[in-house]
Amino acid sequence: MSPVIEPGATIGVLGSGQLGRMFAIAARRMGYRVHTFSPDDDTPTGQVADREFQAPYEDLDAVRRFAAGVQVITFEFENIPLETVEAAAALAPVRPGGQVLYTTQNRLREKQFLSEAGFPVVPFAPVASLGELTAALERLGTPAVLKTAGWGYDGKGQVKIDSPTQAAAAWQTVDTPQAVLEGFIDFACEVSVVAARGLDGQMVDYGAIENAHARHILDVSVSPASVAPDVARRAVEIAHRVLERLDVVGVLCVEFFVRRDGQLLINELAPRPHNSGHLTFDACVTSQFEQQLRAICGLPLGATDLLRPAAMANLLGDLWADGEPNWAAACRFPHVKLHLYGKQSARPGRKMGHLTALANSPQEAVEMVRAARTALLSGR
């Protein structure tokens, strides 16, 4: 039997957010069918999928019904219970495999894996009590950042500690049985590498993408990053080694802090397409979503060439505070592309969409995408 899952086949997506939506768009474009599974309905993924299964992840009978109707399963959200993945994997291959999810869905396990494998990580200590936090603060010093080990993203479940006197309050704030204390890194910039690995081990990447965060949430990404070529090369090398070491089939993003001396430290891994790679949808020969599709279907991976320098700006729910944004004003920028995820309610901090700008230089792309975003608030 050919290991290739051909167009016409049905792909299952666990999770139903914007990453699944963009994956489904890429998959449908290539003639695949898409089923999505999550506890919600009328979801960003469900709106463009052929079929939307709505059930709790813990409903393993529903998971099996979903898995029985697809040829391969991937996920767009890593906080899926392992039992769900195992139940699904008994009926269809899950790519990347459950071991990738197991390692990356818990900050502590991820950091232990990375440091034991010799990858450069932010100095960290496991913390399971106020006593352990006090001891860890003595060892790592302040400032430091206390983060929950599980279920954290976009700065949720983390608190900065500027002095040991704040330990008790911080421990109360994270309110979790298992946390990780990290040294606070005074970085020059943040970069990420989105890379894909095929069923046969072939690997491709999108080089270093530079990321700016606001309130711990990704704000603007730009490609190529403004780091020295040697820094970008090392980031890519590390990312490839992480994919190999974790035996990833699919897409994985490695987020780095770049220190002022050029040293790279891994902040975290995401075993799926990443927000910083959204610009690949408009700016690269093959998007990160098509790459995920090709990898999990056993197809050869596509070229990752960046057609033009590009920047992406997230559109958070805050933009809706005074009513619907002025979409026409952003569309007046002819080199800016608008992506909206079809979410019904715009809460502050919620990712509702993004803009991508293509330009002659990375700086120009950043200026353009910021100007287009500002224009959304004009003349309403």
**Tokens describing residue 105:** 């869905």
**Tokens describing residue 354:** 């993004």
- Minimal distance in Å, beta carbon 212 to ligand AMP? 9
Q: For ligand AMP, give the closer residue by CB, 190 or 282.
A: 190
Member of 78, 205, 210, 268 binding ligand AMP (CB under 6 A): 268
Q: For ligand AMP, give the closer residue by CB, 270 or 336.
A: 270
Q: For ligand AMP, give the closer residue by CB, 28 or 216.
A: 216
190 binds ligand AMP (CB under 6 A): yes
- Minimal distance in Å, beta carbon 201 to ligand AMP? 28
For 158-161, the CB contacts below 8 A with 24+ separation are 158/216, 160/184, 161/137
DSSP H or E segment with residue 212: strand 203-214
Member of 19, 80, 122, 252 binding ligand AMP (CB under 6 A): 122
The whole-angstrom separation of Cα 311 and Cα 333 is: 13
267 binds ligand AMP (CB under 6 A): yes
Interacting residues with ligand AMP between 148 and 187 (CB under 6 A): 153-155, 182, 184-185
- Minimal distance in Å, beta carbon 120 to ligand AMP? 13
Please identify which residue in the block is written with the tokens 């899950």. 94
Member of 145, 231, 249, 279 binding ligand AMP (CB under 6 A): 145
DSSP H or E segment with residue 93: none
**Quick one: residue 219, left, alpha or beta (phi over 0 = left, psi -120 to 50 = alpha)?**
alpha
HSE (CB half, 13 Å, CA atoms) of 177? 1
- Minimal distance in Å, beta carbon 29 to ligand AMP? 31
Q: For ligand AMP, give the closer residue by CB, 153 or 320.
A: 153
Give the burial class of 102: count Cβ atoms within 10 A of its Cβ; 0-12 exposed, 13-18 middle, 19 or more buried: middle
245 binds ligand AMP (CB under 6 A): no
- Minimal distance in Å, beta carbon 257 to ligand AMP? 6
Interacting residues with ligand AMP between 23 and 82 (CB under 6 A): none
- The answer for residues whose C-beta is within 8 angstroms of residue 101's C-beta and 6 or more apart is 75, 78, 80, 82, 85, 271
189 in Cβ contact with 263 (< 8 Å): no
- Minimal distance in Å, beta carbon 335 to ligand AMP? 27
- Minimal distance in Å, beta carbon 118 to ligand AMP? 20
Which part of the chain contacts ligand AMP (CB under 6 A), choosing from 126-134, 147-155, 227-235, 303-311?
Answer: 147-155
Find residue 204's DSSP bridge partners. 196
| Sign of the alpha-carbon torsion through 217, 221, 225, 231 | positive
Interacting residues with ligand AMP between 328 and 347 (CB under 6 A): none
Q: For ligand AMP, give the closer residue by CB, 156 or 347.
A: 156
- Minimal distance in Å, beta carbon 267 to ligand AMP? 5
End-to-end CA distance of the chain: 58
- Closest-CA residue to 274 (of 246, 253, 305, 292): 253
What letters, b where the CB count within 10 A reaches 16 and e where it falls short, cover 256-283? Answer: bbbbeeeebbbbbbbbbbbbbbbbbbbb
Site mask for ligand AMP (CB under 6 A), range 191-220, x = bound: ----------------------x--x----
Size of interface with ligand AMP, in residues (CB under 6 A): 13
- Minimal distance in Å, beta carbon 258 to ligand AMP? 12
Q: For ligand AMP, give the closer residue by CB, 35 or 274.
A: 274
275 binds ligand AMP (CB under 6 A): no
The whole-angstrom separation of Cα 103 and Cα 99 is: 6
Residues forming contacts to ligand AMP in the complex (CB under 6 A) are 122, 145, 153-155, 182, 184-185, 190, 213, 216, 267-268
